[in-house]
Amino acid sequence: MKIKRRRLLWLLLLSWVLLMVLLIPHVIHLNQRVVAQFEGKRWELPAHVYAQSMDLFGGKPLSAKQLRKILSWLNYVEVKQPQKAGEYSRKGSRVEIVTRGFRFPDEYQASQHIVLRFKGKAITDIQDAETGKPVSLFRLEPVRIANIYPKHNEDRRLVKLENVPPLLVAALLAVEDQDFYQHHGLKPTSIIRAGLANMRAGRTVQGGSTLTQQLVKNFFLSNERSLHRKLNEAIMSLLLEWHYDKNEILEAYLNEIYLGQDGNRSIHGFGLASQFYYQRELNELEPQQLVLLAALAKGASYFAPRRHPERAKERRNLVIDLLVEAQLLDTGQAEVLKGKPLGVSPKAPSGITAYPAFLQMVRKQLRKQYKDEDLQSEGLRVFTTFDPLIQAQAEQAVTRQLKRLEKERGIEPDSLQAALMVASVEQGEVLAVVGGRNPRFAGFNRALEMKRPIGSAIKPAVYLTALSHPEKYNLVSLLDDSELVVTLKTGDWMPSNYDHSFHEGTNLSESLIHSYNIATVRLGLDLGLDHVIQTLRALGVESPLNPFPSLLLGAAELPPVELLQMYQTIAAGGYRSELRAILAVVNQSGETLQRYPLTVEQAVSADADFLLTKILQEVAVSGTARALGYLLPGGLEVAGKTGTTNDLRDSWFAGFSGEHVAVAWVGRDDNKSTGLTGSSGALRVWADVFKDLQTQPLEPSQPDDIEWAMVDIKTGALIPAGCSGGSWVPFIAGSWVLTLEDCPEDSAVPEAGAGDLFDPETTEIDTSRGIMQ
Partner 1 sequence: MNHVTKVTGAVLTVLLMSACVTRPHVRQRVPEPVRKPQPAVQRVQLKPAPPVEEATTVPLAMPQIHQPQVLQQTPPQGTVYSEILPQENGYGELAGSDQEIIQEQQRPVEAEQPGNPVLVGLLAQADQDVFDGHLDRAAAAIERALRIDPKDAQLWKRLAKIRLEQKRPHQAESTARKSIRLARGDWGLLADNWLLIAEARDLRGDVAGADRARAKAARYQ
Distance CA 56, CA 60 (A): 7
Answer yes or no whether residue 769 interacts with partner 1 by CB under 8 A.
yes
| CB 331, CB 320: distance < 8 Å | no
State the pairing for strand pair 381-384/706-712: unpaired
* Residues whose CB falls within 8 Å of the CB of residue 144, separated by 6 or more in sequence, listed in order: 48, 49, 50, 51
CB-wise, 34 or 425, nearer to partner 1?
A: 425
**Which part of the chain contacts partner 1 (CB under 8 A), choosing from 12-20, 373-381, 662-670, 709-717?**
709-717
| CB 608, CB 592: distance < 8 Å | no
Q: Side chain identity at 274, as an amino acid letter?
A: S
**Which part of the chain contacts partner 1 (CB under 8 A), choosing from 28-36, 173-181, 242-250, 700-708?**
700-708
Catalytic residue check, 456: yes
Angle (CA) 418 423 426, round 5° = 155
Pick from 27, 486, 593, 621: which binds partner 1 (CB under 8 A)? 486
Q: Side chain identity at 136, as an amino acid letter?
A: S
CB-wise, 50 or 270, nearer to partner 1?
A: 50
Nearest to 309 by CA among 354, 350, 342, 268: 342
Pick from 436, 623, 703, 726: which binds partner 1 (CB under 8 A)? 703
CB-wise, 216 or 425, nearer to partner 1?
A: 425
Answer yes or no whether residue 573 interacts with partner 1 by CB under 8 A.
yes
Pick from 5, 81, 106, 203: which binds partner 1 (CB under 8 A)? 106
| CB 686, CB 665: distance < 8 Å | no
CB-wise, 165 or 703, nearer to partner 1?
A: 703
Distance CA 430, CA 427 (A): 9
Distance CA 420, CA 652 (A): 10
Distances (CA, A) of 218 to 233, 260, 707, 756: 10, 13, 76, 77
**What mask, x for binding partner 1 by CB under 8 A, covers residues 423 to 462?**
-xxxx-x---------------------------------
Answer yes or no whether residue 11 interacts with partner 1 by CB under 8 A.
no
Report helix, strand or coil for 635.
coil
CB-wise, 601 or 669, nearer to partner 1?
A: 601
| Cα 56–chain centre separation | 20
Distances (CA, A) of 615 to 49, 133, 223, 259, 611: 40, 49, 70, 62, 7
Residues 123-152 that bind partner 1 (CB under 8 A): 136-137
Torsion region of 392: left, alpha or beta (phi above 0 gives left; psi -120 to 50 gives alpha):
alpha
| CB 216, CB 240: distance < 8 Å | yes
Residues 299-318 that bind partner 1 (CB under 8 A): none
Residues 361-420 that bind partner 1 (CB under 8 A): none
| Cα 153–chain centre separation | 21
Which H or E run contains 11? helix 2-38
Q: Side chain identity at 116, as an amino acid letter?
A: L
Least Cβ distance, residue 701 to partner 1 (angstroms):
6
CB-wise, 397 or 718, nearer to partner 1?
A: 718
Q: Side chain identity at 392, as an amino acid letter?
A: A
CB-wise, 86 or 703, nearer to partner 1?
A: 703
Answer yes or no whether residue 487 interacts with partner 1 by CB under 8 A.
yes
**Which part of the chain contacts partner 1 (CB under 8 A), choosing from 171-179, 311-319, 590-598, 649-657?**
590-598
Answer yes or no whether residue 488 interacts with partner 1 by CB under 8 A.
yes
Residues 524-553 that bind partner 1 (CB under 8 A): 525, 548-549
Nearest to 383 by CA among 592, 559, 132: 592
**Which part of the chain contacts partner 1 (CB under 8 A), choosing from 90-98, 229-237, 434-442, 599-607?**
599-607
**Which part of the chain contacts partner 1 (CB under 8 A), choosing from 63-71, 152-160, 600-608, 674-682?**
600-608
Answer yes or no whether residue 755 interacts with partner 1 by CB under 8 A.
no
Answer yes or no whether residue 742 interacts with partner 1 by CB under 8 A.
yes
Distance CA 544, CA 536 (A): 11
Least Cβ distance, residue 358 to partner 1 (angstroms):
18
Answer yes or no whether residue 498 interacts with partner 1 by CB under 8 A.
no
Catalytic residue check, 53: no
Residues 325-344 that bind partner 1 (CB under 8 A): none
Least Cβ distance, residue 285 to partner 1 (angstroms):
34
**Which part of the chain contacts partner 1 (CB under 8 A), choosing from 36-44, 251-259, 361-369, 572-580?**
572-580
Distance CA 767, CA 750 (A): 19
| CB 756, CB 728: distance < 8 Å | yes
Q: What are phi and psi of 751, to 5 degrees?
A: -65, 160
Residue 209, CB half-sphere, CA atoms under 13 Å: how many?
21
Residues 46-65 that bind partner 1 (CB under 8 A): 52, 55, 57-60
Pick from 717, 726, 728, 757: which binds partner 1 (CB under 8 A)? 717
Least Cβ distance, residue 694 to partner 1 (angstroms):
13
Pick from 738, 750, 759, 765: which binds partner 1 (CB under 8 A)? 738
| CB 595, CB 392: distance < 8 Å | no
Answer yes or no whether residue 707 interacts with partner 1 by CB under 8 A.
yes
Pick from 44, 251, 557, 659: which binds partner 1 (CB under 8 A)? 659
**Which part of the chain contacts partner 1 (CB under 8 A), choosing from 236-244, 289-297, 400-408, 765-773?**
765-773
Distances (CA, A) of 614 to 163, 425, 454, 518, 679: 59, 17, 22, 22, 19
Least Cβ distance, residue 131 to partner 1 (angstroms):
16
Pick from 105, 675, 725, 750: which binds partner 1 (CB under 8 A)? 105
Distance CA 768, CA 771 (A): 8
Distance CA 432, CA 564 (A): 12
Least Cβ distance, residue 597 to partner 1 (angstroms):
6
Answer yes or no whether residue 721 interacts with partner 1 by CB under 8 A.
no
CB-wise, 161 or 743, nearer to partner 1?
A: 743
First to last CA, the chain: 139
CB-wise, 413 or 491, nearer to partner 1?
A: 491
**Which part of the chain contacts partner 1 (CB under 8 A), choosing from 176-184, 262-270, 435-443, 703-711?**
703-711
| CB 240, CB 38: distance < 8 Å | yes
Which H or E run contains 653? strand 650-656
Answer yes or no whether residue 766 interacts with partner 1 by CB under 8 A.
no
CB-wise, 86 or 700, nearer to partner 1?
A: 700
Least Cβ distance, residue 764 to partner 1 (angstroms):
10
CB-wise, 508 or 709, nearer to partner 1?
A: 709
Least Cβ distance, residue 22 to partner 1 (angstroms):
58
Give how many residues touch partner 1 by CB under 8 A: 71
Q: Of 190, 377, 456, 680, which is the active-site residue?
A: 456
CB-wise, 14 or 598, nearer to partner 1?
A: 598
Least Cβ distance, residue 91 to partner 1 (angstroms):
25
Torsion region of 380: left, alpha or beta (phi above 0 gives left; psi -120 to 50 gives alpha):
beta
Residue 420, CB half-sphere, CA atoms under 13 Å: how many?
33
| Cα 191–chain centre separation | 52
Q: What is the chain's alpha carbon radius of gyration, rounded to the nearest angstrom? A: 35
Q: Of 87, 141, 154, 176, which is the active-site residue?
A: 176
Torsion region of 491: left, alpha or beta (phi above 0 gives left; psi -120 to 50 gives alpha):
left
Which residues participate in catalysis according to the annotation?
176, 456
